[in-house]
Structure 1
Amino acid sequence: MAKRPVSTKPYSGPAGGWGSFRSVESILLQEERIATGNAVLLKQNKPGGYSCVSCSWAKPREPLPFEYCENGAKATAWEITRKRLPDDFFETHTLTELLSWSDHDLEAIGRLTRPMRLDRARDRWVPVAWEDAFREIGAELRGMDPRRTIFYASGRASLETSYIYGLFARLYGHNNLPDSSNMCHESTSVALPQAIGAPVGTVQLEDFRDTACILSFGQNVGSNSPRMLHPLQEAAKRDVPIITFNPLKERGWERFTNPQSPQEMLTLKETRISSQYHQLRAGGDIAAITGMCKALVEADDKAMAAGRAPILDHAFIQQHTHGFDSFAAWCRAQDWAELERWSGLARQAMMDAASVYGAARSAIGIYGMGLTQHKKGVENVRMLVNLLLLRGNIGKPGAGILPVRGHSNVQGQRTVGITEKPELVPMDGLAEQYGFEPPRDTGMNTVEACEAILEGRVQAFLGLGGNFLRAVPETQRMEAAWPGIRLTVQVATKLNRNHLINGEVAYLLPCLGRLEVDAQAGGEQAVTCEDTMTHIHASRGTVAPASPHLLSEPAIVAGIAKATLPPNPRVTWDEWMGDYGRIRDAIEASYPEIFKDFNRRMDEPGGFARPLAARQREWQTETGKANFLVPAGFRTDLGTDLDDPEILQLITLRSNDQFNTTIYGYDDRFRGISGTREVLLMNRADASRLGLKEGDTVSLTTAVDDNVLRQVHGLRVVPYDIPQGAVGGYYPECNPLIPLWHYAEGSKVPAAKSVPVRIRRQEARMAAE
């Protein structure tokens, strides 16, 4: 690959603006869609159009003229590219050679067009007929113990595909259905049911119009969910205080120029987003939120003693919550010096944030993986719920908790059964509906699947999208163990690294993208997705398929299932493939409360919302109320020793030129980095103390003692506004540094936001070797 010029220069512009506009047009040009791509984008997140394949931010009832963001446009361009993997590509390149290619360069070749089987002797993929692939995969699966197979799902598959994929797994005989949620928001799925009795957020788009305060923790709006900047900007213009807690200064939470406003674009007008911005220590969220709670509780104590109006919502607390007295007593007992030490914030900063929040009639609490991907990720989320409960900020207009999901349907696939937890699936109903006995044992989540692969216990891995080996921790160990799997099957649209490392028998099955017309026996089909605010929407492809040899995801799942399972007259695979409306009928039969009148309602503007009891202040918890839950303490992460200057906490990051493991380019505009992803963001004082200067090349080593050497080499030092004691590096390049056992307690989400590392100048390392 050609060498790229590298530049690291601070970016002074806002989020959005002309930088966003140029970035969108640049990728449309790169993917040879400059003439037609903009027309396609006009249908994104619109009624009668398609749901974005990038993030799951809500689709409004009344969409903007351009209801897409920079990253959503990149995802669309990436999928509708005119580039195709050449028919002779694997005659020219072996898989071993391709392992030296970057993630970006592999996907940039273009769309996959034919199903392929691994020719291990020649180290190449070779074409195979669909019927042969299905028959051979089915024969392999029939000879295996289902409990030793893994059916993984990334977060892009539709509700229809996800439902039949989960049903296939259970008809086959297992609940091993790990998914991308296991790597990001499983901490949410564990914490929120304990606290409020619901596994998802309670905020609706209209709450942004009613809110009087917004709090954000560990979420990068500018790169990860830019369409949220529109309601944030509207709130900021109403002088709604927006209080942000994040170790790094992220441009989206600072300043925004709306690309949909000609006046703002022409005048370069910027809107201030955050009214307070607190750069807390990596892993300091529990301590920071505790400081706010302590300030509120003690201010309320004084107000009540003096006969003034209370600060806390005592009526709500008494009627709707459990555990307040214990939590309040715990808050009062905390020492401000310890809170400052563990949060990295001054007492006054926490009190200032509490004062503004305490004066607001309603508030929204937003968070991302900066809360969930820690050893105490579950406690982080519960602690934010505690803060909201103090003021009655769940179940009223303009208030609620909002986990911002990533993949476009990661939340929806859980709704229809993609989970390793049988208690979350209507097993008795499925048994009656399809005349079989579903497996009732708990399956493997992502970490447990990785452990089983490392131990040689997995016979087959089916991947419904994604780039599993790049997304999980322990990259080198996982890649070394992967060839020990007997059968690997990957459903994909483009080539990625996981397709170069395979089991003994392997298949690469190309599918239609969501933006492509899906013509079946019953005509052109629509699919459905659930957004981060639990609204369910129809999505219709609009461009011609990349190849006549592609099959849809439902057709591929059904093809494998039919070749694997004995016939069942109640499971009508062929009818389902001809008309996805019949799959939706089946979903409605399995989940009648959620999907009543599914086919009729799926085209409602803004989507139809799942019922959620917590929005009505009905608490489906063991106590029957919302629960205040006391955290165990402030030591939130492995190896957190604030007195050891040699150990720094690594925060893994995404650039604004990527979505999860998909790398669109080598620029991170908001951080001023161009031409490379091999960087290490460092506080200037830390760099100076360690004898490093800008541009030095360093290695990172995980600072744990478990007899496994975990290293990443070749990182360029970039001075950055990041708290002392923390460093930042890109995901997935830094995944090799994350021990598989370094995960959130209770959810097993990899703790990628605080990994203890040591830094060595690379020249010194090479000389020593």
Structure 2
Amino acid sequence: MREKIEIKQNDAPAGGWGSVKEVSTILLRENVIAQGTALLLHQNKPDGFACVSCAWAKPAHPHPAEFCESGAKATAWEITAHKLDAEFFASHTLTSLESWSDHALEEKGRLTEPMRWDAASDTYLPVSWDAAFAEIARELGQLAPKDVVFYSSGRASLETSYMYQLLARMYGNNNLPDSSNMCHESTSVGLLKTIGVPVGTVTLDDFEHTDCIFFFGQNVGVNSPRMLHQLQEARKRGVPIITFNPLRERGLVSFTNPQSPGEMLTGSETAISTQYLQVKAGGDTAAIMGLCKALIAFDEAAQAASMARVLDADFLATHTHDFDTFATAVKACAWADIERESGLAQADLETAARVYAGAKAVMAVYGMGLTQHTNGVQNVAMVTNLLLMRGNIGKPGAGVCPVRGHSNVQGQRTVGITEKPELAPLDQLASQYNFTPPREKGMNTVEACEGILSGAVDAFIGLGGNFIRAVPETVLMEAAWRRLRLTVQVATKLNRNHVIHGEVAFLLPCVGRIEIDRQNGVAQSVSIEDSTGFMHGSKGRAEPASASLLSEPAIIAGLAKALLPTVPAMAHVDWDGWVGNYARIRDAIEKTFPEIFFQFNERMWMPGGFRKPVAASHREWNTTSGKATFIAPDALDENPDMHENGADILRLFTVRSDGQFNTTIYSNDDRFRGVYGTRMVLFMARVDMDRLGLVEGDTVTALTPSLDGVARSVAGLRVTEYSIPAGCVAGYYPECNPLIPLWHHARESKVPAAKAIDIKVQRHAA
């Protein structure tokens, strides 16, 4: 039955009764009201399980309910009472399932037993674990290691991730792309160049000491709602929060705390942003350039008047490199160019700069709105440029805070998931396990896609995720995917990446993080890293969805033992011992990374976790110059690779709804934007609707102007008016991914540039 489509204005705050209703609704829909309510009280607690959705920090002293609406949805989704068994697959061909929506596929419930695709019936049929491991090993044994990809999503634990990278390297490649390649690789590259670490410097404690927060391209209300507690507390202390974002997102406008009886009874709200600047998509470099230009002008005026400097001259002289080159570029940049590219007025940028100049400790929080651009690495450098001008890195209450998405996407990189051999401890692995790790650079996500399209990749092993739905170039990728010899997916629920498959395809269901993982009758624990670099233990508390499930470590070990029985190094890896006691995996991790994981098993249960070393937090700069480095931007335009002229060109950026997390769609509603019953929406400014002759509710096809002869389009998008900068439009991810060319990615980091895509729209005939 088709859902009723309704679009209406919604000015309600984030949180509040709307959030309570959403949580209740999904617990009821998944038939886990009692179980889910009890489990949520253990979510993100020191003795409980780490949330399987976002990676926001876990406090040492948690709130009574240390979960948000998004986290509650993720938990209900995983512990659902609905199950997918052999009977379902016997009655549904994969061809028929291709017409199902993302929501419909996952809504059917948890996978319960290993499956192999049967070509004759076009269905998944049950297979034993031993048979699955044996056949996968036979297939991989016939392929060149360089032609096999080992992908991982951000949910796998530190223990699983460590085993997975070891499996890939013992097999013979560094083809270890992961979900960070699609989102924050620009951060890892940009911060490493500027401040010498690939991660942020901010901790939860810094929120208590900051006196100003700048937000860039991050939707806290959908992607990391628990952060709203820190933001609300900061606002109640009078801390200004200045936001740069194309859309006025509800979580950055106002918040009613569901854990405050007073606020819930009275409906009172906390205004989050004190200044909200709706920057054009792709205008962040220009906007930050304007802030820096204003600060330099303020500083020069202060010096002329013999007043205290606005810039931190001592910090600049002692701790930074190449400021003069950057300052020269800033002063040479015209305000007219800044206003044109950012879509913001000089006066508004100067107002924001004055607030910054008057603060002693400033934090900059940002998300994929900065990283998913052709010049995404440049955007990250601009954030650090701004902070360094007044010494806002390496002191309490200040620093850079990239908000990572998935729950352990940062942690899996910490334990070796990387395609870049120079970032992996290959010498230590060689010594520890007596083998010769490959030294050739592996494939990142974009390169893996290029290999699949060209036929260079023969097999794809997926540790979680929905790769085919998450990547750009959807139409071409799905066609090429079917030509892969082997696809293997470790998963908890059915998604499109299981329906679109290779010539030989396996579906390997695993125990979820929320579930009790018993090995030899003993419940095991795992660990994760949050987005502020703290490691936490996690204990499952729900019974597994099926007795036939294996844990992720057990699946990796099963593949390794079947695939690598003759590799001499196998004698140095006790795969069975590791699976029998995960503490032994952590001992191995500690040996490989002693500076980060010393006393790993003892420290993983510390309230608030333990932090890995972040040198820049102590003003130690592991850069080429030995100092924090200013980098002048190459251009104000963040997307120089996609330039189409014409009044009919619009700049599309993709967004998430409050009814989803990454590619997981919990419902087709987005209450924050007032959209119900559909995700096929194009948010557009009234001025653009009038200019193009469109009215509310018109149905259009979006097309990417062809610069390479490839036709890219998405049909059936409903136009709806929204507060958005002129010339910009927004549509949902992943529905709009077919519009993104694979070559449209960040320079240096190769993150798909999903936040600025030039498109045209064609109105459907009545």
Q: Same fold (TM over 0.5)?
A: yes
After superposition, the C-alpha distances for 1:267-311 in whole angstroms (9 at most, x for unaligned) are: 000000000000011100000000000000111011112210000
Q: How far 1:704 moved relative to its partner?
A: 3.3
Q: Which runs of 4+ in 1 moved over 2 A?
A: 638-644
Q: CA deviation at 1:502?
A: 1.0
Task: Determine the structure 2 residue equivalent to 1:644.
Answer: 646
Residue identity in the other structure for 2:74: A
- Shift of residue 639, structure 1, vs aligned partner: 6.3
Which residue of structure 1 lines up, in the alignment, with residue 382 of structure 2? 383
Whether contact under 8 Å (2:286, 2:637) holds in the other structure is: no
Distance, in Å, in 1 between the alignment partners of 2:135 and 2:99 is 30
Whether the aligned pair in 1 keeps the contact of 2:148 and 2:459 (CA below 8 Å) is yes
Amino acid at match of 1:406: G
- Corresponding residue for 1:619? 621
Aligned AA (2:733): Y
Aligned AA (2:147): R
**Paired residue type of 1:293:** C
Question: Structure 2 matches for 1:623-634, cutoff 5 A?
Answer: 623-634=625-636
1:316 pairs with 2:315: yes
Counterpart of 2:691 in structure 1 is 689
- Identity between Structure 1 and Structure 2 (%): 62
User: 1:184 aligned to 2:176?
Assistant: no
How many Å separate the matches in 2 of 1:643 and 1:143? 50
CA shift, 1:332, in A, is 1.1
Distance in 2 of aligned mates of 1:574 and 1:522: 15
Q: Counterparts of 1:160 and 1:383 in 2: how far apart (Å)?
A: 35
Distance in 1, Cα, partners of 2:764 & 2:711: 16
Deviations 1:93-125 (A, max 9, x none): 110011011000000000000100110121100
> Is residue 638–residue 756 contact of structure 1 (8 Å, CA) maintained in 2?
no
Counterpart position of 1:199: 198
Task: Judge conservation of contact 1:522–1:579 (CA < 8 Å) in 2.
Answer: no
Rounded to whole Å, the distance in 2 between the matches of 1:727 and 1:638 is 18
Distance 2:535 2:612 in 1: 8
Q: Aligned ranges for residues 358-507 of structure 1 at < 5 Å? A: 358-507=357-506
5+ long unaligned stretches in structure 1: 765-769
Q: Please tell me whether the aligned partners of residues 639 and 756 of structure 1 are also in contact (alpha carbons under 8 angstroms).
A: no
Partner Cα separation in structure 1 for residue 128 and residue 605 of structure 2:
36
Q: Which residue of 2 aligns with 1:509?
A: 508
Cα distance in 1 between the residues matched to 2:247 and 2:644: 19
Which has the higher mean CA deviation after the structures are superposed, 707-716 or 639-648? 639-648
In 2, Cα distance between equivalents of 1:168 and 1:641: 43
Write the deviation string for residues 457-514 of structure 1: whole angstroms up to 9, x where unpaired. Answer: 1111000000000000010100000111111100000000111111111100000000
Equivalent residue, structure 2, for 1:767: none
**What is the letter of the counterpart of residue 450 of structure 1?**
C
Q: 1:12 offset after TM fit, Å?
A: 1.7
Equivalent position to 2:572, from 537, 553, 570: 570
| Distance in 2 separating the partners of 1:704 and 1:534 | 42
Distance, in Å, in 2 between the alignment partners of 1:524 and 1:518 is 5
Question: Per the alignment, in what secondary structure is the counterpart of residue 537 of structure 2?
Answer: strand
| Deviation (angstroms), 1:640 | 6.1
- Match of 1:102? 101
Mapped pair 1:234 → 2:236: no
The aligned amino acid for 1:762 is H
2:46 maps to 1:47: yes
Name 1:708's counterpart in structure 2.
Answer: 710
Q: Residue 606 of structure 1: SS of its match in structure 2?
A: coil
Quote the offset at 1:86 in angstroms.
Answer: 3.5
Conserved? CA contact 1:187–1:747, under 8 Å: yes
AA at the equivalent of 2:478: E
Say which of 586, 596, 609 aligns to 1:607.
609
Q: Deviations over 1:525-567 (max 9, x none)?
A: 0000000000000000000000000000000011011100025
Alpha-carbon shift at residue 456 of structure 1 (Å) = 0.5
Give the secondary-structure state (helix, strand or coil) at the position aligned to 1:192.
helix
Residues in 2 aligned to 1:508 and 1:642: alpha-carbon distance in whole angstroms = 43
Structure 2 counterpart of 1:210: 209
Alignment equivalent of 1:664, drawn from 666, 670, 674: 666
In the alignment, the residues of structure 2 paired with residue 763 and residue 557 of structure 1 have an alpha-carbon distance, to the nearest angstrom, of: 53
Partner of 1:719: 721
Contact residue 55 and residue 407 of structure 1 kept, 8 A: yes
Whether contact under 8 Å (2:642, 2:744) holds in the other structure is: no
| Counterpart in the other structure of 1:755 | 757
What is the deviation of 1:742?
0.1
Structure 1 Cα separation of the partners of residues 167 and 35 of structure 2: 38
1:157 equivalent in structure 2: 156
Give the CA deviation at 1:521.
Answer: 2.1
Q: How far does the alpha carbon of each residue in 1:550-592 deviate from its partner, in whole angstroms, 9 at most, with x for none?
A: 0000000110111000252211100001000000000000000
Q: 1:658 to 1:122 in 2, by over 3 A?
A: same
Query: Is contact 2:86–2:125 with CA below 8 Å preserved after alignment?
Result: no
Cα RMSD after superposing both structures: 0.9
Aligned to 1:144: 143
Residue 76 (structure 1) aligns with: 75
Which of 730, 735, 740 is 2:737 aligned to?
Answer: 735
CA contact (8 A) 1:517 1:544 kept: yes
Instruction: Tell me the matched-pair count.
Output: 763
Say whether the 8 Å CA contact 1:652–1:752 is kept in structure 2: yes
Change (3 A) 1:374 1:339: same
What is the alpha-carbon distance in structure 2 between the residues aligned to residue 732 and residue 606 of structure 1?
Answer: 34
Amino acid at match of 1:201: G
Instruction: Tell me which residue corresponds to 1:331.
Output: 330
Give the drift of 1:522: 6.6
Which string of whole-angstrom CA distances, capped at 9 and with x for unpartnered residues, describes residues 630-669 of structure 1?
A: 0001121156669632110001010000000000001101
Q: Secondary structure at the match of 2:218?
A: coil
Once the 2 structures are TM-superposed, how far is the Cα of residue 706 of structure 1 from its aligned partner?
Answer: 0.8
CA contact 2:641–2:744 (8 Å) conserved in 1: no
* Contact residue 646 and residue 758 of structure 1 kept, 8 A: yes
Report if the CA contact (8 A) 1:639-1:703 is conserved: no
Question: In structure 1, the residue corresponding to 2:117 is in which secondary structure?
Answer: strand
Give CA deviations for 1:649-690 in whole Å, capped at 9, x if unaligned.
Answer: 001010000000000001101000001001100001101110
Match of 1:551 in 2: 550
**Aligned equivalents of 2:52 and 2:420: distance in 1?**
26
SS class of match (1:667): coil
Q: Please tell me the residue identity of whatever aligns with 1:587.
A: I
Matched, 1:341 2:340: yes
Partner of 2:116, secondary structure, is strand
Q: Normalised by the size of structure 1, how large is the TM-score?
A: 0.98
Paired residue type of 2:352: A
Give the whole-Å Cα distance in 1 for the aligned partners of 2:83 and 2:562. Answer: 29
Distance 1:640 1:97 in 2: 37
TM-score by length of 2: 0.99
Please give the alpha-carbon distance, in whole angstroms, between the structure 2 residues aligned to 1:639 and 1:607.
42
**Paired letter, 2:510:** C
Contact 2:150–2:177 under 8 Å retained in 1: yes
AA of the residue aligned to 2:180: S
For 2:39 and 2:281, the matched residues in 1 are separated by 40
> Following TM superposition, by how much is the alpha carbon of 1:140 offset from its aligned partner in structure 2, in angstroms?
1.1
Conserved? CA contact 2:114–2:506, under 8 Å: yes
1:286 to 2:285 alignment: yes
> CA–CA distance in 2 between the matches of 1:300 and 1:145?
60
Q: 1:640 to 1:172 in 2, by over 3 A?
A: closer
Shift of 1:92: 1.2
CA contact (8 A) 1:521 1:578 kept: yes
Q: CA deviation at 1:6?
A: 0.6
Q: Secondary structure at the match of 1:649?
A: strand
Distance (whole Å) between structure 2 residues aligned to residue 544 and residue 633 of structure 1: 54
> Does 298-307 or 317-326 show the bigger shift?
298-307
Shift of 1:763: 1.7
How many angstroms apart in 2 are the aligned matches of 1:177 and 1:377?
Answer: 22
Whole-Å separation in 2 of the counterparts to 1:359 and 1:427: 47
Unaligned stretches of 5+ residues in structure 2:
none
